[in-house]
Amino acid sequence: MPLWLDLLVRVVAVMVAFLVLPLVVGQAEHKVMAHMQGRVGPMYAGAFHGWAQLVADGVKFVQKEDIHPDGSDRTVFRLAPIVALFPYLVVILTIPLGPNGLVAQRLDIGLFLVLAILGFGVVAVLMSAWASANKYSLLGGLRGAAQLLGYELPLVLAAASVAMAAGTLSLPGIVEAWRPWWLIWQAPAGLVFFIAGLAEIRRPPFDMPIADSELVFGYMTEYTGLRFAFFLLAEYVGIIVIAGLTTVLFLGGWHGPFADQLGWLWTLLKVFALSFVIIWFRVTYPRLREDQLQRLCWLILVPVSLAQLVLTVAVKSLL
Amino acid sequence: MTIADVLMIALGAVAVGAGALVVTSTHLVRSGLYLVVSLGAIAGLYLVLGAELVAWVQVLVYVGAVVVLLLFAVMLTRAPIGPSTDLDRPIGPSALIGAGVGLGLAALFADAFRWIEYPRGAPGTAERVGAEIFGTWVLPFEVLSILLLSALVGAIVLSRPDVGRREVKPDDPRETTDRAKEEDEEVPA
């Protein structure tokens, strides 16, 4: 395959994944939440069980008026949704789907890149919060920044544990090195990573920065139309990214029966199973209060991930 | 000129331009955001030079943590939208120091390297950086770790008033006068 064709295929594949997967997760969220609450959810758009509901939502968002608050900083206000969405696009590039190089961009230090880029998301929260010129937005943004900075630590430590176990920072390399018994060995790190990841994408029960019952909608309060849709899209891509990273790092990515042919299917299956768990969490748990949130991070997740590092080193040196 | 040269010049221009905007902008928070751009461009420079790991460390530590902390602190205190006209920014001394350091460094480098062309070093992959740090440079690395650890402990001690406080007896005249004096000093004149 010539280089340009290879490049084109990869770019198109990533764009399709970026546009389709969040819609699937979004629709699943509508339906799963509805059924868990004894409703049926959207039923009319697209005739069959409301499958086109999110497409209709998208059309609605495009039609809405693009409003800036009076005292806002317009340039920063406009840039923030793009900055929120961009890091996830880069992260999707690096998540391996299947064996034999089925990944958009194979990088030697993919894990490090992913962690660095995910950390960049805080900037978008602060930008949107400050530029909105709204007290609720600012409060939400400050909560968000404190939460993201705090949970970054257990996230990185848990990822470091699995990188040490695999002896590489490359995401496909980690999946290749993965063995089924790692499910037990790396279980604490996996749990910590998943919970910290939930907090990083501000999903319930970690949605204190958004907290619609007290802060209107946090740092997104003033956004309308397409810009708001960007934030919403970022949230659903975030679900895919966190589920994908947990799959790749802790659940063995493409490993499963017939991995050589069906590896990509296993990865997708695990990603969707984890996305389902993320939606399930939203329906099940009430929102954590700010002090409970920080307590969970600093007194439980950080010590557990540090203990996991010691365990990883001990087992690794015994082998 | 190769593509790498062009990229070096472009990223360098972005870094210097954003850096200049950091100090000349009258918008407080925008200054912080320009700092993000400047540090990001420097990460790009590392990438062009083949120092992959250093580039991502730059993004993780400087863009993702240091600048965010800075913005966070500014927003907690005073971050008006729009220009702040009351900023105290003496332009003379800073321009002098900036221009002096810039010219001095440029002269030094021009004199040291002239037009010698050096072969490009091996790319700074994670493996190589790790081998260097834990091989040749292990002692400075460990010394720095201890320095960081002590700074961390110091920060905890400073931020927690219940650690290391002396018992204050109400009938001890020396202690109470000292405390009264301290409180007096804390009141801004």
* Candidates A109, A115, A141; nearest CB to B53: A109
With 90 as the cut, is the pLDDT of residue B143 above it?
A: yes
- Measured between beta carbons, the chain A residues lying within 8 angstroms of B68 are 122-123, 126, 145, 149
Instruction: Kindly state whether residue A87 falls inside one of the protein's structural domains.
Output: yes
Contact assessment for residue B59 and residue A116, using Cβ atoms and an 8 Å cutoff: yes
Q: How confident is the model at residue A27 (pLDDT cuts 50, 70, 90)?
A: confident
- Determine the pLDDT at residue B172: 53
Give the integer Cα–Cα distance in Å for A148 and A122: 7
Domains located in chain B, CATH noted: 3-123 (1.20.120.1200), 137-189 (no CATH)
The mean pLDDT value of chain B amounts to 80
Residues 6 or more apart whose CB falls under 8 angstroms from that of A18 comprise A88, A89, A92, A237
The mean pLDDT value of chain A amounts to 85
Candidates B35, B37, B38, B75, partner chain A, best to mutate (most A CBs within 10 A):
B75
DSSP SS3 for A304: helix
* B72 with A115: Cβ contact below 8 A: no
Tell me the pLDDT tens digit for each residue of A173-192: 888 888 888 888 888 999 99
Q: How confident is the model at residue B188 (pLDDT cuts 50, 70, 90)?
A: very low
**Amino acid residing at A178:** W
Contact assessment for residue B33 and residue A83, using Cβ atoms and an 8 Å cutoff: no
Interface contact B76, partner A, CB < 8 A: yes
With 70 as the cut, is the pLDDT of residue A101 above it?
A: no
- Determine the pLDDT at residue B173: 54
What is the sign, positive or negative, of the torsion defined by CA atoms of B97, B103, B105, B108? negative
Three state DSSP letters for A247-285: HHHHCCCCCCCCHHHHHHHHHHHHHHHHHHHHHHHHHHC
Residue in chain A nearest B68 by alpha carbon? A123
Interface contact A73, partner B, CB < 8 A: yes
With 60 as the cut, is the pLDDT of residue B176 above it?
A: no
Q: How confident is the model at residue B144 (pLDDT cuts 50, 70, 90)?
A: very high
Percent of chain B predicted with pLDDT > 90: 16
Contact assessment for residue A224 and residue A64, using Cβ atoms and an 8 Å cutoff: yes
Interface contact B56, partner A, CB < 8 A: yes
Instruction: Count how many domains chain A has.
Output: 1
Cβ of A97: how many Cβ atoms within 10 Å? Answer: 22
Preceding amide of A209 cis, omega within 30: no
- Determine the pLDDT at residue B187: 46
Vertex A302: Cα angle to A296 and A305 (nearest 5): 125
Q: In angstroms, what separates the C-alpha of A143 from chain B's closest C-alpha?
A: 10
Give the integer Cα–Cα distance in Å for A109 and B128: 12
Q: What is the DSSP string of A63-113?
A: HS-----TTS-HHHHHHHHHHHHHHHHHHHHH---BTTTBSSS--TTHHHH
- Determine the pLDDT at residue B38: 92
Cβ of A16: how many Cβ atoms within 10 Å? Answer: 10
With 70 as the cut, is the pLDDT of residue B184 above it?
A: no
Instruction: Kindly state whether residue A4 falls inside one of the protein's structural domains.
Output: no
- Determine the pLDDT at residue A193: 92
Tell me which of B89 and A134 has the higher pLDDT: A134
Instruction: Kindly state whether residue A48 falls inside one of the protein's structural domains.
Output: no
Instruction: Kindly state whether residue A109 falls inside one of the protein's structural domains.
Output: yes
With 80 as the cut, is the pLDDT of residue A289 above it?
A: yes
**Amino acid residing at B18:** A
Q: How confident is the model at residue B166 (pLDDT cuts 50, 70, 90)?
A: low
- Measured between beta carbons, the chain A residues lying within 8 angstroms of B71 are 123, 126, 130, 145
Torsion angle in degrees (nearest 10) through CA of A59, A80, A282, A252: 100
Residue in chain B nearest A134 by alpha carbon? B81
Instruction: Kindly state whether residue A84 falls inside one of the protein's structural domains.
Output: yes
Could you tell me the end-to-end alpha-carbon distance of chain B, in angstroms, rounded to an integer?
A: 60
Q: What is the DSSP string of B22-82?
A: HHH-S-HHHHHHHHHHHHHHHHHHHHHTT-HHHHHHIIIIIIIIIHHHHHHHHHHH---SS
Cβ of A175: how many Cβ atoms within 10 Å? Answer: 24
Instruction: Kindly state whether residue A39 falls inside one of the protein's structural domains.
Output: no
Domain hosting A104: range is 69-318
- Determine the pLDDT at residue A182: 84
